[in-house]
Amino acid sequence: PAAAPVTVIGLGPMGAAMAEALLAEGHEVTVWNRTPARAEPLVAKGARLAESVAAALGANELVILSLTDYDAMDALLKPVAGALAGRTVVNLSSDTPERTREGARWVTAAGAEFLAGGVTTPPSGIGDPENTYTFYSGPRDAFDRRRSTLEVLTRADYQGEDPGRAALMYQIGMTMFWTSMLSYWQAIALADAHGLKAADVLSHARETFASLDMFTSFYAERVDADHHEGDVDRLSMGTASVEHVLHTMRDAGVDPTLPQAVVDLFRRGMAAGHGNDSFSSLLGLVKAAK
Ligand code: NDP
């Protein structure tokens, strides 16, 4: 079948990469962006620039949104909700699961099909479906009909009908991503305080992150079985270790906010009597904060 024509609204780094990947695969692409200048490089590659959001919605049945968040979708689409009937809106902007469900509800009530997406790759991975993936959720038939077009961008991992599910999977990844990257800045700040560059510690940093792969698999089985026995690690050992980290930061004059938060959780685990259990017993403390 001929490549389906697509509208892309939102031309930040992500939306621009999406429009470009679709053009490269022979799709007719109509674009719109609040700041029109960002459309120029795409128009030079063959995209059509719509005059208004309503015109962008009118141009094609399939409409991809790549905006900062769901407030931006509301700001753009609510004033032209009458133009949504019969469209398939695929929102690849990130937000919370609750906010995503709320957006899905009103767009669906306006007569459109709604698919939510959580893209797990930076712009450089868009157009490389062999190596990248996006979580989708929403009506199965809408997803099945649009899958081949969406897979121009990345591989599509369908997560079921609940529109909040794709956002949840995205947030699970981001929970790990932002904290882990902050731990990386922490390590580089410590290295810097001792006259080392990021490049000097790069191979050690990469090995350390790579080693987490083994830990995640090992502990997944145990925590699902509620098994927190201290046979391979004890919280008392972990507490001494994270305190060494904190003191190393203090000695170096580096901001201790992140390691301090880690130490606080370990100490709460000790106070709760988990010294002889695995540090996975901290999961109970994290779960309890409802
Ligand atoms: P940006 O925030 O850089 O771009 C967002 C787009 O939203 C721009 O086109 C901007 O328009 C538009 N926008 C924001 N607010 C409004 C508004 N109130 N009204 C109209 N337009 C608005 O985001 P990215 O392109 O980097 O990312 C898009 C989405 O993809 C985000 O939800 C992000 O979380 C997610 N994502 C991003 C990744 C990345 O590496 N960049 C990786 C994975 C997911 P204007 O040009 O006029 O400012």
Q: Ligand 1: does its nearest atom lie under 6 Å from the Cβ of 206?
A: no
Has residue 40 got a pLDDT over 80? yes
Q: Distances from the Cα of 137 to the Cαs of 10, 48, 59, 64, 161, in angstroms? A: 20, 29, 24, 14, 5
Among protein residues, the one with the nearest Cα to ligand 1's atom 11 is: 34
Quote the pLDDT of residue 99.
Answer: 98
Would you place residue 276 in the very low, low, confident or very high pLDDT band (cuts 50, 70, 90)? Answer: very high
Q: Is the CB of 116 under 6 A from ligand 1?
A: no
Q: Read off φ and ψ for residue 46, nearest 5 degrees.
A: 110, 0
Which residue of 34, 76, 80 sits with most ligand 1 atoms within 8 Å of its CB, as the best mutation to test the pocket?
34
Kindly report the protein residue whose alpha carbon is nearest to atom 6 of ligand 1. Answer: 67
Kindly write down the DSSP assignment for every residue of 124-142, as one continuous string: GGTT-TTT-EEEEES-HHH
Q: How far is it, in rounded angstroms, from Cα 73 to Cα 208?
A: 39
Q: Reply yes or no on whether the pLDDT at 1 is more than 90.
A: no
CATH fold of the domain at 6-161: Rossmann fold (3.40.50)
pLDDT of residue 7: 98
Rounded Cα–Cα distance for residues 230 and 257 (Å) = 28
Q: What is the pLDDT of residues 231-254, one digit of tens each?
A: 999 999 999 999 999 999 999 999
Q: What is the mean pLDDT of residues 125-152?
A: 98
Mutation choice for ligand 1 from 67, 92, 120, CB with most ligand atoms inside 8 A: 67
Domain 168-288 has CATH 2.40.10.10: no
The residue behind tokens 């925590």 is 223
Q: What is the model's pTM?
A: 0.93
Question: Residue 140 pLDDT more than 90?
Answer: yes
- What is the average per-residue pLDDT within 42-52? 98
Choose the residue to mutate in 68, 99, 124, 153 for probing ligand 1, maximizing ligand atoms within 8 Å of C-beta. 68
pLDDT at 290 over 70: no
- At residue 189, the pLDDT reads 98
Domains of the chain, by residue range, sit at 6-161, 168-288
Mean pLDDT of the chain: 97
What pLDDT, on the 0 to 100 scale, is given for residue 288? Answer: 82
* Neighbouring C-beta atoms of residue 136, cutoff 10 Å: 26
Report pLDDT for 2. 80
Residues 120 and 173 sit within 8 Å (Cβ to Cβ): yes
